[in-house]
Structure 1
Amino acid sequence: MLLSFRFANHRSFRDEQHLNLTPAYRSAEHDQAVRVVGIFGANASGKSNCLHALGFMRRFVIFSDREVEPGLGVAREPYRMTADSLEAPSHYVVDLELNGIRHTYGYTVDNDGVLDEWLYHYPLRRKRRVFERNGDSFAWGDESGQRALLERIAEVTAPTALFLSTIARFDHRQAAPDRVEPEPLRDVYRWFQRMRNRSQPQLSGGYRSGWPDSDAGRRALVELLRAADVGIVDVVEVTSTVTDEQPLLFRLEDPSIGRGMRRNARNRVGQERKRLKFAHQGPAGEVQFELAEESTGTQQLLGLAIEAAEILGEGGTMCVDEIDASLHPLLTARLIALFRSTTSNPRGSQLIFTSHDAALLGTIDTEEILHRDEIWFTEKDADGASTLYPLTDFKPRKEGENRQRRYLNGNYGAVPDLSAYLFEQALAARGPVDDEAAD
C-alpha cells in the first residue's frame, strides 16, 4: 500500500512535491492510507505529469539494469524552463506499507547516472537500514541477510542502474511461502511489479491474455458490463485458426513501459487465436459484435474493468490518466466505489487517477464520490512550474460545501484562466467570412 510519493525536477514539476495518502479525518482503526486519490486541474497543469513521475520511478526500478548503454547516461525528463534544472538531479521516494511494515525506498539520478539510492524499513516501528548507496559506495544494515550476495551484486551494478533492479535480476531464490523474516528488497520490488500505470487502452481486436481464466472472474466482468447499461448481456470466447501472421489482438499497452521495452507479440500461422465477441439482446434474439464494433466508451470501460479486476484480486496500485475519458460520470463513480469498498477490495488495492470531470467532486444519492482527503489539485505558476496540493489545505465551510461549484468558481484554484476577450480577438482576426466561397 502506498503511503506517500515524493518527487522533484520531473517534467513540469521543478520543486519537490508530496502526494500524501495518509487519511486526514479517519480514526486509527482504518487503513494507513486512503484507497482512492483523484487529481484535478486545468489542461497542461501537471496532472498527467504527476502520474508520469510515479510511472517513471516504476519503469526505472524494473528496467534500469537492462537499459544500460555505455556513455548514454539516464533518459530522464527534468524541468526544462530553466537551464539550472536541466543539470540538477531528480529524485523519487515512496513510503509503502508492506505486510504490515513501513518501507521507504528512493533514489536520486542526474543525466549521467544514479547518485544515491536507499531502502529503510521499520519493523516494530523502528527505522532500520537495508542499504544505502552513494555513487559506487554501499553501506548495509545490520540485519541485511546474505551480505556476501549483496556485495557481489553491488560490484556489478552499473552506474546507470539501480541496485534494486539489479538484485532482482541476479537473485533467483524463491521466497518461502510461510516465511517469518521480512524480505524488504523482494517486497518493495514486487510492489513496483504489481503497480499499473496507464492512459487510454490500446484495443485492437478481440483477445487479451489478461482476460480472466476463472469462471468467477469472467462472470464478475460480464456483470459489470451489464450493470453499466452499455447493451452487453454476455461475452463469448470463440476460437479461430490464424491463416497469416498477425499482430496479437486486444493488447492493453502500459505507457509507463518505455517503447524499447514493449514486445510486438504476434499470432503465428496455424496457431489457434481466441477472440471475444459481445452479445447484445435484440428483438429477434442475441446478436454478437466484434470489439471494434463497440463504442469507444465501451472499449474504455472494458479495458479499465479488466485491469481493475486484476488489481483488486491480487492487490496493488492502479494509476489511470483521465479516468473519465469516454465514460459517463456514474460509471466512473462506480469504478471508484469498487476500490473504496472493503467488500470488493479486501486486499487494500489503491486507485490514483486524474480527471477534468468536476462531477466527481460532488455526490450521488447524498453520498460523496470522493472524501476531502482523496482530492488533490495541480496548478502552474507564471514560470510554468506545476504545484500539487490537497483539498484539505482549504477549510470546509460550516454549512457544508458544494465542492463541484466551488471548484468551477475557482475557489480552489486549478482551473484555466480563460479570457473571453482573447477568444473574441482570435475569431475577429480571421476577417469576414466569404459566404460564396463557403458555399
Structure 2
Amino acid sequence: MLIEFTVGNYRSFKEKVTFSMVATNLMSKNKSLDETNVFKVDEKLSLLKSAAIYGANASGKSNLAKALAFMRWFMSNSSRETQSTDKIRVEPFKLSTETDAQPSFFEIVFLMDQKTYRYGFEATPDEIVAEWLYYVPKSRETRLFERNKDKFNISRTYKADGIQQKTRKNALFLSVSAQFNVEIAENILERSIGCIYLVSGLNDIEYRLYTIDCLVDTAFFMTSWHSSNSG
C-alpha cells in the first residue's frame, strides 16, 4: 500500500518532490469525504483512499507518473531485462549545470504486513550510486541494507549476504535479491510494488493490459456486470 513517492533530478523535476497519500488533520467541508476517503492504519497514521494531482499544462503531472512507472519497472526488471553494458533510463534535469551530472533520486514508502518500508535509489545513466531499504518492525526505523556504489551493508534480517557480489553496477540489489529468492525482496516486488498499476493516457497499452486482466478475472467481470444491471 503506497504511502509516499518522492522523485528528484528527473525530467522536469530539479528538486525533490513528494506525492503523499497521508491524510492531514484538516476536516473536509464535505464530511462524507472524511468518512469514505480516509482510513486509519494505526493511531499515528491515516491514509487517503484516493488523491488527485492537478495543475497547469507542463507543470509536471505527466512526468510524476513517468517517474513512478520507471521506478516500478526498474525495481522489477533491472536484474533480468538489462545487460551489463546497458544504460539506465534516467533523465536528469537538463536546464541546470548543477544537476546534469548528478544522480536522479527515487524513493517509495509503503505498507506491507502491517509494517512501514522505505526503499529508494540514486542512479546515473551509467550506475547505481546509492540504494537503501529500511523498515519499522516495532517503533524505530531499522536498516535492512544500504549500498554506496559497490559497497554494501546488509543486515542479517535481509538474508542476502553474498548476493552483492552478483549485482552489476547498473542493476538494483533489491531486484537481484528477488532473483535469488530473498523472501523480503520477493514480497516487496510481488505483493507491494507489483500491486501498483499505472493507468495513464501517456501509454494506452496500460489500459489494454488492465482491461484484459479484468476480463480474465471472472469475479470482477460478473460483479461489475451485476452492479451495472441492478442500478
TM normalised by structure 1 equals: 0.44
Corresponding residue of 2:215: 211
C-alpha distance in 2, partners of 1:126/1:83? Answer: 38
1:55 deviates by 0.9
1:29 deviates by 7.1
C-alpha distance in 2, partners of 1:50/1:167? Answer: 27
Following superposition of structure 1 onto structure 2, how do residues 18-417 of structure 1 map, counting pairs within 5 Å? 18-25=18-25, 30-31=40-41, 32-145=46-159, 150-171=160-181, 184-190=184-190, 191-200=192-201, 201-202=204-205, 208=212, 210-214=214-218, 216-226=219-229
1:40 deviates by 0.4
Q: Secondary structure at the match of 1:168?
A: helix
Residue identity in the other structure for 1:85 = T
Q: Secondary structure at the match of 1:10?
A: coil
Q: Secondary structure at the match of 2:215?
A: coil
Corresponding residue of 1:13: 13
* 1:119–1:130 Cα contact (<8 Å) kept: yes
* 1:61–1:189 Cα contact (<8 Å) kept: yes
Residue identity in the other structure for 2:215 = W
C-alpha distance in 1, partners of 2:15/2:39? Answer: 34
Larger RCO: 1 or 2 (CA < 8 Å, sep 6+): 1
Runs of 4+, deviation exceeding 4 Å: 26-29, 224-228
* 2:154–2:161 Cα contact (<8 Å) kept: no
C-alpha distance in 2, partners of 1:70/1:9? Answer: 24
* 2:214–2:221 Cα contact (<8 Å) kept: no
Asked which structure has the greater CA Rg, the reply is 1
% identical equivalent positions: 28
Per-residue CA distance 1:316-339 (angstroms, 9 max, x = gap): xxxxxxxxxxxxxxxxxxxxxxxx
Q: Which runs of 5+ in 1 are unaligned?
A: 174-182, 229-439
Q: Which runs of 5+ in 2 are unaligned?
A: 27-33
1:225 deviates by 4.7
TM normalised by structure 2 equals: 0.81
Corresponding residue of 2:30: none
Q: 1:38 to 1:80 in 2, by over 3 A?
A: same
Residue identity in the other structure for 2:96 = T
Equivalent residues, number: 211
After superposition, the CA RMSD in angstroms is: 2.6
